[in-house]
Amino acid sequence: MKIAEVRVIVTCPDRNFVTVKIVTDEGVYGVGDATLNGRELAVAAYLTEHVAPQLTGRDPARIEDIWQYLYKGAYWRRGPVTMTAIAAVDTALWDIKGKVAGLPVYQLLGGRSREGVTVYGHANADSIDAVLTEISGYVDLGYRAVRVQTGIPGLESTYGVSKDRMFYEPADAAIPTENVWSTAHYLDHVPRVFARVREEFGPTLRLLHDVHHRLTPIEAARLGKSLEPYHLTWIEDPVPAELQEGFRLIRQHTTTPIAVGEVFSSIWDCQQLITEQLIDYIRTTVVHAGGITHLRRIFDLANLYHVRSGSHGATDLSPVCMAAALHLDLAIPNFGLQEYMRHTEATDAVFPHGYRFEGGYLHPSEEPGLGVDIDEELAARYPYRAASLPVNRLEDGTVHSW
Ligand code: KDG
Ligand code: MG
């Protein structure tokens, strides 16, 4: 069997997605997600111009060799664009391997380690009262874990709190919109939110909160301490994570667990965080961290250091990524939680998939391969629309990090 064609499909069924479809000379094909929010066309060009021509004629069964060839062979290693492109190819090759073997991908990864993949949903609202209603909705649907975000009094808008209750989409305009941020307002407000949530929902519902990289280590330490009475499952992305040793400071001050990794593209971005046990959950994804092959490597390293997985699963990761994530989540020994946001109807129609939600768990498809596809005819009806993630500024106008 040989790779006959590598197609790069860009479509926008309510939001942009880039998908790789690898077709073999025997007609079997596989799909991989290559979506990098706000930078979609950079990955599409990398794949079309540089990767696709090098893959034709190769044996699709040689997943590890192709991974190493694309990673080491390019000379320029790592980075989100490169690693997303490699991830898409890797994911498509696992899909092909599963189809050829006649097995769902999780069986190729060692088989099932649990009955289902526990997911967390997103409760967002402007006010505390409104977020309590949102949380109830998730509890009624059977969710066992809920991420809670609210607007911050004194701030006009807050990143991560979507206007649409059902669907999350922070990338709105071609030229980024801008938000204004105040750490003082934020640190004052968040403990009040979780005090109310615990009062209302009791001690056992798993609660999470995303800080979106907006604090310094000592501010994050204060936040963690102030949230200790409400025993969160994690605070996510408390600080920008380029400086891995910065997490030591947070760790020295608080027992609130820490999750990080949605913007990481390789094992080197979290090696110190994991080996020094500075985090509790690693949130790297199939699509942005080099595919199933490389993510498995990250999770295996994490397993040695008591760090569990908590993969990112926002709506800018396509159903192809979600399907791949679920196979890995089901198989690894150190699974923690999987983020799950529902895609819109249009997205679901373009990416028919067999995974399903039931009683707080997602279950991957039992079909051979990943159990997800792309309807190319339908995809062609949704042309690309430029959309960028917003920019964050402090009240005095300084550009602030996420
Ligand atoms: O593309 C950025 C989104 O995926 C991000 O804002 C979502 O932080 C996020 C999360 O944890 O889901
Ligand atoms: Mg996040």
Look at residue 5 in the predicted model and tell me its pLDDT: 98
Nearest CA to ligand 1 atom 2: 37
* C-alpha of residue 179 to centroid of ligand 1, in Å: 16
Look at residue 169 in the predicted model and tell me its pLDDT: 78
Measured in residues, the chain has a length of 402
Look at residue 90 in the predicted model and tell me its pLDDT: 99
Ligand 1 shell residues, CB under 6 Å: 37, 170, 210, 212, 262, 312, 314, 316, 339, 389
Q: Quick check: is 159 catalytic?
A: yes
Rounded to whole angstroms, the Cα distance separating 267 from 247 reads 17
Look at residue 163 in the predicted model and tell me its pLDDT: 64
Query: With contact defined as beta carbons under 8 Å apart, do 310 and 281 qualify?
Result: yes
Closest residue by Cα to residue 103 from 113, 94, 90: 94
Closest residue by Cα to residue 135 from 123, 117, 126, 118: 123
Distances (CA, A) of 138 to 120, 226, 345: 9, 25, 19
Rounded to whole angstroms, the Cα distance separating 83 from 291 reads 8
Closest-lying ligand 1 atom to the alpha carbon of residue 283? 11
Nearest CA to ligand 1 atom 8: 212
Q: Quick check: is 306 catalytic?
A: no
Residue from 262, 287, 322 to probe ligand 1 pocket by mutation (most atoms less than 8 Å from CB) = 262
Structure tokens at 224: 């963690």
Please tell me whether the overall predicted TM-score, pTM, comes out greater than 0.85 for this model: yes
Q: Which of 122, 189, 209, 212 is labelled catalytic? A: 212
pLDDT in tens, the chain (402 residues): 999 999 999 999 999 999 999 999 999 999 999 999 999 999 999 999 999 999 999 999 999 999 999 999 999 999 999 999 999 999 999 999 999 999 999 999 999 999 999 999 999 999 999 999 999 999 999 999 999 999 999 888 777 776 666 677 788 889 999 989 999 999 999 999 999 999 999 999 999 999 999 999 999 999 999 999 999 999 999 999 999 999 999 999 999 999 999 999 999 999 999 999 999 999 999 999 999 999 999 999 999 999 999 999 999 999 999 999 999 999 999 999 999 999 999 999 999 999 999 999 999 999 999 999 999 999 999 999 999 999 999 999 999 986
Residues contacting residue 340 through CB under 8 Å, at least 6 positions apart = 119, 120, 121, 313, 322, 357, 362
Q: What stretch of H or E contains 4?
A: strand 3-11
Query: With contact defined as beta carbons under 8 Å apart, do 310 and 337 qualify?
Result: yes
Look at residue 168 in the predicted model and tell me its pLDDT: 73
Nearest CA to ligand 1 atom 5: 314
User: Any idea which ligand is nearest the CA of 341?
Assistant: 1
